[in-house]
Amino acid sequence: MWLWFSKLGSPRWFYELSSKWLPWLYALMFVMLGVGLVWALLFVPADYQQGQTIRIMYVHVPVASISLACFPLMAIAGTITLVWKMKLADMVAKSVAPIGAWFTGLALASGAIWGDQIWGTWWAWDARLTSLLIQFFLFVGVIALRSAIESPDAAAKACAVLAIVGAINVPIIKYSVEWWNTLHQPASSISFDAVAPNPPEIWVPLVIMILAVYVFFAISLILRTRNEILQRERRAQWVMDLVARDQQK
Amino acid sequence: MSGDIRSEGNSNYELQQSVSTWTAFCATLKRDLLIAFKRRNDLLNPVMFFLIVVSLFPLGVSPDPMELTRISAGVVWVSALLASMLSLDNLYRADYEDGSLEQLLLSPQPLYFLVLAKNIAHWLISGLPVVILSPLLAYMLYLPAEAYTTMVLTLLIGTPVLSLFGSIGVALTVGLGSRGLILAVIVLPLTTPVLIIGAKAVTDVMFGVPLASHFALLGAILALALVMSPLASAAALRISVN
């Protein structure tokens, strides 16, 4: 178990293993995205209330669900960095921050487009929107801190601390924002919790889309992490060999 | 002028070892307060800033009493938040530059309590004056009389949280060249729950909403911040000073 754990921390091991994973992940993503998108955009019946705009859900919900998962992931990677000083964990933490910010921004943008159609406004100070916006600011803070500190080692630890503090704060922010708005104007928004009782022809493509976007997220995280590995290990022999082999081709 | 106080505190390692945590806590608190009182301007700046920001709102929004009453709670709270942000930079920077922060990190007492002492000193210097001044500004913004007590009490519970959270941000950025804006970007999102609950309590009391839950939530956040945030600050200081 511990051998496996310390092996996982080796950037080279991860690089070589992920080279084998990537083609399979690509294939999985393209199949699922193709099936999910065609199904969602062409074959799902229009909603009796929302009409064709219900199709925005098939992009918005997967993106939003990932944006919520990114901060805990970054905090876990940060904890591993602080406790076990695992190099790979910090590379993942560094890679996940911009991806998380992008997904949060995409969730806000797709939500705004949907909101314009359904609520008649691009933006409302709804609890979900507001807490997502604050989460976006938290990501921006982590990225800004990372770029401000020159020493990579200090940046890794500082960002890990900030990620953990932020992750403890995310639920507090979420609940305080919900408490703030729901007390003020109850049930002003459309809840997505109503997805479950819907017929399978609506939620099965949604599940496919969520999985597809998760695979997409995994691929982009792996690619970014690989980039980071090459950059930080550029003096290592195995990276130089890799580059030499690449140039020979 | 504060040099002799500092050198006195660090003169003898053996002496320090026999110092109890409580004594070290009091000494740190006293030292920070003393330094602050010797730099009167630093002491006045947050309060002045608070006053100026609050008076910008009637100029920018409207001098209409009805309008101002409606936004008064939020204006006072946001201004208190910004004033606390502005004074944060003093928390560790001078100590970092003259090396006494390193001495603090090397001291045998738990860093948690020393950081807590510094945070309490920061709150006494920047937070408490704002709380004391707030009724005056609330009056200028036509806050209804029945909301005064709530406003002062929420600020009294909320501003220490601002100091505690802010301390984490300062500790993370203390070694950086340009930290003013980055500090705000890091710290402000963390303080949103306090702002939401504090400002809402003051608004709600005008409508006669019962306030027990507001105070319970604010108190819970303060309790959490008191326990957790000096730990995070201490860890961040060790990283930044290295």
Question: What integer pLDDT is reported at residue B132 of this predicted model?
Answer: 92
Nearest CA in chain B to A176: B193
**A39 falls in which pLDDT band (50, 70, 90)?**
confident
Chain A: give the shortest CA distance to residue B111, in Å: 16
Contact (CB<8Å) A165/B200: no
- Taking the Cβ of residue A170 and every Cβ of chain B, the question of whether any pair is shorter than 8 Å is answered with no
Least confident residue range of A46-60, A211-225, B8-22, B184-198:
B8-22
- Taking the Cβ of residue A167 and every Cβ of chain B, the question of whether any pair is shorter than 8 Å is answered with no
pTM assigned to the model: 0.83
Chain B: give the shortest CA distance to residue A91, in Å: 18
Contact (CB<8Å) A169/B190: yes
Say if residue A181's pLDDT is above 80. Answer: no
Average pLDDT over chain A, rounded to whole? 84
Three-state SS for chain A is CHHHHHHHCCHHHHHHHHHHHHHHHHHHHHHHHHHHHHHHHHHCCCECCCEHHHHHHHHHHHHHHHHHHHHHHHHHHHHHHHHHCCHHHHHHHHHHHHHHHHHHHHHHHHHHHHHHHHCCCCCCCCHHHHHHHHHHHHHHHHHHHHHHCCCHHHHHHHHHHHHHHHHHHHHHHHHHHHHHHHHHCCCCCCCHHHHCCCCHHHHHHHHHHHHHHHHHHHHHHHHHHHHHHHHHCCCCHHHHHHHHHHHHC
DSSP code at position B145: G
**Residues in B touching A173 (Cβ below 8 Å):** 189, 192-193
Rounded CA-CA distance B123/B84 in Å is 8
Contact (CB<8Å) B193/A162: no
- Strand, helix or coil at B9? helix
- For A85-125, the pLDDT digits (tens) are 888 889 999 999 999 999 999 999 988 888 888 777 788 77
Mean pLDDT confidence for B187-192: 91
Say if residue A84's pLDDT is above 60. Answer: yes
Q: In percent, how much of chain A has pLDDT > 90?
A: 33
CA B210 vs CA B75, B168, B204, B216: distances in Å? 22, 33, 8, 12
CA A60 vs CA A74, A134, B10, B109, B187: distances in Å? 22, 18, 58, 51, 29
Nearest CA in chain B to A160: B236
Give residue limits of the domains in chain A.
25-187+196-235
- Taking the Cβ of residue A213 and every Cβ of chain B, the question of whether any pair is shorter than 8 Å is answered with no
Mean pLDDT confidence for B9-38: 77
Rounded CA-CA distance B91/B188 in Å is 17
Nearest to B182 among A145, A157, A166 (CB): A145
**A3 falls in which pLDDT band (50, 70, 90)?**
low
Contact (CB<8Å) B182/A161: no
- Taking the Cβ of residue A145 and every Cβ of chain B, the question of whether any pair is shorter than 8 Å is answered with yes
Say if residue A4's pLDDT is above 90. Answer: no
- Strand, helix or coil at B193? helix
- Taking the Cβ of residue A204 and every Cβ of chain B, the question of whether any pair is shorter than 8 Å is answered with no
Say if residue B80's pLDDT is above 80. Answer: yes
Say if residue A161's pLDDT is above 50. Answer: yes
- Counting Cα atoms < 13 Å in the Cβ hemisphere of A63 gives 18
Phi/psi at A235 (5° precision): -85, -10
Least confident residue range of A26-30, A49-53, A76-80:
A49-53
Place of tokens 């608190």: B29
Question: What integer pLDDT is reported at residue A190 of this predicted model?
Answer: 45
User: Which residues of B fall below an 8 Å CB-CB distance to A?
Assistant: 168, 172-173, 175-176, 178-179, 182, 185-186, 188-190, 192-193, 196-197, 200, 217, 221, 224, 228-229, 232, 235-236, 239-240, 242
- For B116-147, the pLDDT digits (tens) are 999 999 999 889 999 999 999 888 888 888 88
Say if residue B167's pLDDT is above 50. Answer: yes
**B46 falls in which pLDDT band (50, 70, 90)?**
confident
Contact (CB<8Å) A180/B196: yes
Nearest CA in chain B to A153: B239
- For A188-223, the pLDDT digits (tens) are 344 455 544 567 777 788 889 999 999 999 999 999
- Residue B18: is it exposed, middle or buried by C-beta count within 10 angstroms (0-12/13-18/19+)? exposed
Mean pLDDT confidence for B59-76: 88
> Which site among B77, B178, B186 would you substitute to test the A interface, given the most A Cβ atoms closer than 10 Å to its Cβ?
B186
Say if residue B37's pLDDT is above 80. Answer: yes
Tokens for B89, please give them: 């930079």
Phi/psi at B177 (5° precision): -70, -60
Chain B: give the shortest CA distance to residue A113, in Å: 25
Contact (CB<8Å) A134/B189: yes
Contact (CB<8Å) B185/A141: yes
Contact (CB<8Å) A158/B239: yes
- For B192-226, the pLDDT digits (tens) are 999 989 988 988 888 888 888 889 999 999 999 99
Rounded CA-CA distance A30/A224 in Å is 19
- Strand, helix or coil at B100? helix
Contact (CB<8Å) A145/B197: no
Q: Of residues A125 and B7, which shows the higher confidence score? A: A125
Contact (CB<8Å) A173/B189: yes
**A41 falls in which pLDDT band (50, 70, 90)?**
confident
Nearest CA in chain B to A130: B192
Contact (CB<8Å) B190/A166: yes
> Which site among A135, A164, A176 would you substitute to test the B interface, given the most B Cβ atoms closer than 10 Å to its Cβ?
A176
